[in-house]
Structure 1
């Protein structure tokens, strides 16, 4: 089991809070396990997004609002677990190399939708799946929050980097 190393007397670092440049080691480790476990049942998972900058997040947030396209996120810069290296996005790739974004695709022909099979593996590994959210379904999204809120992360609190799994 993972435990957070939290200092409850933390100082609000605001914009100066250190943002990681890569995925948290536990997220990285479980991302790789996810890809391997899915491959073992005939599903080719592609990780389409990992850590993203606040600027990248703001650009995504603008999509469907002040720029063209559909709304793909409700999180502004600094309000996404991606900004803290705690989230990944995925898609499924078919045998022709095309990324599949449909949740009904059954490429391994076992009578189950590949997208949901991947989500189940991810949840087993400790990820939270955006497809389970009530207000805004984010099917490609997987995150590990380590019990930390976005507000805590914004204030500089970070999960322990030790991998206990």
Structure 2
């Protein structure tokens, strides 16, 4: 089955670095798991709210400069935060990144504060 990004997902990619958009667009072409782009570029005000709520731990988020996206898998017709759906989607995104030759980091691979929806361009290559 072939999936397409919704108009809202495409809108959430506005302001996101073109290389990361390439990864997302390749991922939607090859994924067996439908997904939405939950968020891309984020304001400092929203980031401060996220830190206050405990859903983020830093004011240095890659979302602030368009170097990160949050991707939510679709299960039973709705976006989900259930980890069992993130692992197959992670394989897709890692393959998509290889296909377009753009390095990415997944928040699910972090040692602390694991963040399943989060994908970012690495600081070392994209300061």
> When the two structures are superposed, what TM-score results if normalisation uses the length of structure 2?
0.76
Runs of at least 5 residues in structure 1 that lack an aligned partner in the other structure: 1-20, 64-70, 105-113, 149-157, 160-165
Deviations 1:38-64 (A, max 9, x none): 1xx2x111110111111111111111x
Matched residues, number? 108
In the other structure, the counterpart of 1:57 is 47
State the alpha-carbon separation in 1 of the partners of residues 79 and 17 from structure 2. 26
**Which structure's CA Rg is the greater one?**
1
Runs of at least 5 residues in structure 2 that lack an aligned partner in the other structure: 1-13, 98-102
In the other structure, the counterpart of 1:129 is 106
State the superposition RMSD in angstroms: 1.8
> Whose relative contact order is higher, 1 or 2, with alpha carbons under 8 Å and at least 6 apart?
1
SS of residue paired to 2:50: helix
Task: Name the one with the larger helix percent.
Answer: 2
Alignment counterpart, residue 68 of structure 2, candidates 84, 87, 96: 87
Runs (4 or more) in structure 1 with deviation over 2 Å come to: none
